[in-house]
Structure 1
Amino acid sequence: MTETSMPASRRQVLAAGGALGVGITFAGSLTDLFAGSAAAHGRGGYGPLAPDPAGLLDLPKGFTYKVLSREGEALRSGEGKVPTNFDGMAAFAGRRGGTHLVRNHENRHNGRIGVPVVEGLTYDPAARGGCTALALDRRNNVLDERVAIAGTAVNCAGGPTPWGTWLTCEENEDKAGTNGYTKDHGFIFEVDPVDPRRTGAVPLTAMGRFQHEAIAVDPKRGVVYETEDAFQQPFGLFYRFLPNKPEGGRGSLRAGGRLQAMRVPGVPDLSSIQETGATFDGIEWVDVPDPLAAQTPIRLQDFGPKGITHAQKLEGCYWGGRSVYFVSSYARSREGSAGDHYGQIWKYDPSSRRLTLVIVFGPDTDVQLPGEEPDNICLAPSGGLMVCEDGEGAQHVYGLTRRGEVYPMAGNRQNIGTPEEPEWGEFAGVTFSPDFDTMYVNCYTPGTTFAVTGPWHR
């Protein structure tokens, strides 16, 4: 393990500037973090957020938004209402410059507006989660909005595949008979954004049954990396799935494969590592004894005398350049973690079998400022990342430049509390159109999907 200096205190750096754009620079090199991003520059942010007169979404000057969808509205397909709890999302190229969006709905068994049951697209009629799909023209006008998969549970995040489909993840491991469910849950499902009936509602059981969060696919090897969002002990694991058909293609993951969990020698809990730039070589991958978790959750199974490496709140996951990046949203020693932080971003290079801690948000982070508990992440046009904040207080989409500066990109103005005690729903599902001219992002509650346009390539 190599070490560099500890991360800067966000409270110390941001206290004077509030949420209006004062960035911070983290210790350690960020050059590799943005490999494969759309641009090579990344010159800080786009300026302070301007208050939205409509009270929906604050953006920097020069940017505008369009509301594409709201919970409770009628689906254009006539299948029912737009479900609640907007979460993970991805954008795919459509015809004539248009875009297809696939959007998760993280509804539990008692979800307020569940995904409508549709014949041929429903896994378990008793479950209220799933996905909806939007078809947009080149000006982000909604042409269609329909159910893409139904009867799944707590669809949190997921990820796109190199062959143009969406893998939606159930952050739930209830078995049939629990909470009224008629089938076991905790699976990944493949969704075709153009014609969901081509993929149906088939669980990819070989990829494991656990509290899935997100996935990223190695486009060269076909390996699928998976995060497990467990916020209570035992904490989650970081997985890889070795498919029997690594060449990929729609439906290829149904052919099965091998599920393994990551072991960092000598590190039972990733939260114990606090030094930005800390590096570990010789990462091991251990076969999961029972991927279906018939009797015992995977994170509790016996991985041998060396054990396995856990981490609290493993969430966002994406592939960039030659590496996979994944997020630990936070760690709290009072809840059993080995250390405290308000977010880590890790990088694993499969060629060198090397794991690196790229970013740490320290335990003295001010929760009212951007940067608490990073969740969904994606590459940004300016050569960095966009990250959805999932914490308490004000909620933001914030950017991270190649130099490690944090800046706010959007602020949620929809108060779901009271004037005296305001609350704001988290952001989720940040993604960009294939031409990087539009950022799409969800407000979780009240469920709202925005299309944000402006001088992205400035």
Structure 2
Amino acid sequence: MSVDRRSVLRGAAVGAAGVGFTTVGAVPTLAEAAPASQSGRGPFPQHRPFPPLLDDPKGILALPPGFKYTIVTQAGQTKLKTGQPTPNAHDGMAVFNAGHGRYRLIQNHEISSNGPLGVAPIEGTVYDSGVGAAGGCTVIDVDRDGTNRGEWVAISGTLTNCAGGHTPWGTWMTCEETENKANGTTRLKDHGYVFEVWGDGKTAHPVPLKALGRYAHEALAIDQDRTHIYLSEDASGPNGTFYRWSAPRGYKLGPSSWQDLQDKDFGTLEALAILGDDGKPIPDVAYLTSAQLLRPFRVKWVPVPDRDGATTSVRKQFTDGQITRGKKFEGVFGTEQGVYVVNSYAESGTSDLPADAVPHDGMVWFYNYDAQTIQLVTYFPESAIADSGDPAKYDDYNFDGPDNVTVTPWGSLILAEDGSASSHVLSATPGGPTYAIVRNMLNDSEFCGPAFSDDGKVLFVNIQSPGITFAITGPWRDYLG
């Protein structure tokens, strides 16, 4: 459907009047304007610039001066408590305080088929015993210095576990980024669900939370009231969207909610519609650009007809103009005031970029719970340098393809880059600058699952292939605090 951008966004630039921006590298930065508020109670947090990265003599991670890394796990090299090798394809991850001077990581493994480094099907943890379901999650106990104190399987028999989200009661919700159904041979059950994962080594309920829908899930966040779950969809043909699950009236999510969420009709699942100045849904997020940076847009939520996608994929159940779509809705992370969600990119000359829309190399949004508005808070214009795929032309100032997102203990953002050339971990301030804080020198694999310890001392992050978990320490507070 061809859409006139000017009519969709008429007046949008006026909403950003007085907010100028300049470009450093290819990243928009506010100039002489205070960032907008998350909730009316103050500005988005800012932080000091990070210094240039220093190359690693070992050729693994480039870091700022004064920072160091420890390898916690490595696929095929470290071992589980049960003797099997650490699985491959590390992805989304959460970190919890385990007490006694330790952290506990719950980690996804984005594996789509059986292989030598799949997640071991430990009894009691298996959802689907078919050989084509080799994904799942492991749990890792880690000392404060990053020393691995044991790893074990928490769920297995799932498929393409991409990202997810932590719960307020200390568990992890892992998301299957697939819509594959049972085929009677390699897959004995349908996939495309969310599962709740415990890290205590004793509790396992490998059951799908069908109330949250069956589609190509990416990540999620639970709001502070425990009445809503916000979920992203990484899909194309057509592009996916952002969803909200709402609890029945009077219901609060908690440690036993997994039992209720098995019912596909429990609560309400809705899809996002960002409203333009004419009150109609903007068809795709790519119609918005840095000209609308920090401008709040009203939204509405459109009920999903069949959340289990029995005959038609969830995203295909909506007609053009009903909802707002976007290429690669990815990372999601919640705060007390709202939730961040990332769109990785929308490239020129592809069928996933609507007519009259603007290609970009990444967007970060903030949805405000109270105001029920959404703002574009970080925007990466399409960059020929960043998209070149040529590391010789790439540097630590041109970025593309933000993926996973987390919020630091001080309120700023950490983004894991899944770009065209060298991948970075990025530090970003909403409406402000973006800095490279880690660069992958080992290969061109993406970073995944950034997660800060609650004391702010350690940033845990993964390289997806060959599957390595790092604990990065240093003077984080000096720059982010």
Whether 1:321 aligns to 2:336 is yes
For 1:4-403, list aligned pairs within 5 A.
4=16, 13-14=24-25, 25-26=29-30, 30-32=35-37, 42-45=47-50, 47-111=51-115, 113-126=117-130, 127-177=133-183, 180-195=186-201, 197-230=202-235, 232-244=236-248, 246-255=251-260, 256-264=266-274, 265-274=280-289, 275-277=291-293, 279=295, 281-302=297-318, 307-333=322-348, 334-338=350-354, 339=357, 340-364=359-383, 366-367=385-386, 368-369=394-395, 370-381=398-409, 383-401=411-429
* 2:414 partner amino acid: M
* 2:205 partner amino acid: G
Q: Structure 1 pair 51/204, CA: closer, same or farther in 2 (3 Å)?
A: same
Q: Structure 1 pair 24/407, CA: closer, same or farther in 2 (3 Å)?
A: farther
Aligned to 1:19: none
Whether 1:444 aligns to 2:455 is no
Which whole-Å deviations, capped at 9, do the CAs of 1:232-281 have from their partners, x for residues lacking one? 32110110111347422223143132111112233111111113336454
Q: How far did 1:358 drift?
A: 1.6
Q: Structure 1 pair 14/278, CA: closer, same or farther in 2 (3 Å)?
A: closer
Aligned counterparts of 1:295 and 1:402: Cα–Cα separation in 2: 40
Which whole-Å deviations, capped at 9, do the CAs of 1:36-87 have from their partners, x for residues lacking one? 99x9551111x11111111111111111111000001242312511111110
Aligned to 2:475: 455
* 2:366 partner amino acid: K
Identity between Structure 1 and Structure 2 (%): 37
Which whole-Å deviations, capped at 9, do the CAs of 1:350-377 have from their partners, x for residues lacking one? 3222121222111236313442011111
Q: Structure 1 pair 386/26, CA: closer, same or farther in 2 (3 Å)?
A: same
Secondary structure of the 1:372 match is coil
Corresponding pairs, count: 436
* 2:211 partner amino acid: A
CA contact (8 A) 1:440 1:449 kept: yes
Secondary structure of the 2:100 match is helix
Aligned to 1:420: none
* 1:223 partner amino acid: H
Q: How far did 1:194 drift?
A: 2.2
CA contact (8 A) 1:328 1:344 kept: yes
Q: How far did 1:97 drift?
A: 2.9
Aligned counterparts of 2:282 and 2:442: Cα–Cα separation in 1: 41
* 1:341 partner amino acid: H
Q: Structure 1 pair 283/79, CA: closer, same or farther in 2 (3 Å)?
A: same
Which whole-Å deviations, capped at 9, do the CAs of 1:369-401 have from their partners, x for residues lacking one? 442011111112554211110011111101113
**TM-score (structure 2 length as normaliser):** 0.84
Aligned counterparts of 2:419 and 2:77: Cα–Cα separation in 1: 27
Q: Structure 1 pair 322/179, CA: closer, same or farther in 2 (3 Å)?
A: farther
Aligned counterparts of 2:40 and 2:412: Cα–Cα separation in 1: 9
More off after superposition, 73-82 vs 149-158: 73-82
Q: How far did 1:163 drift?
A: 1.1
Aligned counterparts of 1:34 and 1:24: Cα–Cα separation in 2: 23
CA contact (8 A) 1:328 1:343 kept: yes
Unmatched 5+ stretches in structure 1: 16-22, 416-423
* 2:187 partner amino acid: Y
Aligned counterparts of 1:243 and 1:217: Cα–Cα separation in 2: 11
Aligned counterparts of 2:416 and 2:41: Cα–Cα separation in 1: 20
The Cα RMSD (Å) is 2.6
Aligned counterparts of 1:130 and 1:35: Cα–Cα separation in 2: 40
Which residue of the other structure, out of 402, 405, 424, is the alignment partner of 2:433?
Answer: 405
Aligned counterparts of 1:269 and 1:111: Cα–Cα separation in 2: 38
Aligned counterparts of 1:403 and 1:237: Cα–Cα separation in 2: 23
Secondary structure of the 2:63 match is strand
Aligned counterparts of 2:139 and 2:423: Cα–Cα separation in 1: 25
**TM-score (structure 1 length as normaliser):** 0.89
Q: Structure 1 pair 288/33, CA: closer, same or farther in 2 (3 Å)?
A: same
Aligned counterparts of 1:247 and 1:50: Cα–Cα separation in 2: 47
Q: Structure 1 pair 178/35, CA: closer, same or farther in 2 (3 Å)?
A: farther
CA contact (8 A) 2:233 2:242 kept: yes
Aligned counterparts of 1:50 and 1:33: Cα–Cα separation in 2: 34
* 1:294 partner amino acid: A
Unmatched 5+ stretches in structure 2: 1-10, 261-265, 275-279, 387-393
After TM superposition, what 4+ stretches of structure 1 lie above 3 angstroms from structure 2? 5-10, 26-37, 278-282
* 2:25 partner amino acid: L
Which whole-Å deviations, capped at 9, do the CAs of 1:147-195 have from their partners, x for residues lacking one? 1110110000001111111010000010000882111000000011223
* 2:336 partner amino acid: G
